[in-house]
Amino acid sequence: MKRKEIPVFVLDIMGRPEFAFEAGSMAEAEQLVSAPSFSRALSDFLVTRHEVHAERACLRPRAANAIEASFYRDFACEFADASGDVLFAHLCDEAS
């Protein structure tokens, strides 16, 4: 049975599409992004990459374009499991 496609959202960081993820709606995507655990994980990721991101507190997800959504879904098919966990894919330059 084919899985119903859930909308894909993207977070732009420093003007570039960096992360893609699925959420049932824009409201759900915004709630996920505003969660303290997500903020901590994003901060850790940016520190590891030696990037500073002053806008972290006001990140807003946006709907993915067709290329970004396709990249995410290819990644999800390869790495996701049936656990129901949220999968965030780090987009590479080819997705922009």
Bigger pLDDT: 82 vs 20: 20
Rounded CA-CA distance 20/49 in Å is 18
**Helix spans in the chain (H):** 26-34, 36-48, 66-79
pLDDT at 64 (0 to 100): 95
Q: Is the pLDDT of residue 63 over 90?
A: yes
Contact 28, 42 (CB under 8 A): no
Q: CB count, 10 Å around CB of 11? A: 20
pLDDT at 42 (0 to 100): 78
pLDDT digits (tens, 9 = 90+) for 8-61: 999 888 788 888 889 999 999 999 888 888 888 777 777 776 555 544 546 789
For the chain, the structural domain boundaries read: 8-95
Bigger pLDDT: 4 vs 94: 4
Listed residue (33, 32, 92, 42) closest to 67, CA to CA: 92
Rounded CA-CA distance 20/12 in Å is 9
Pairing of strands 16-22, 89-90: antiparallel
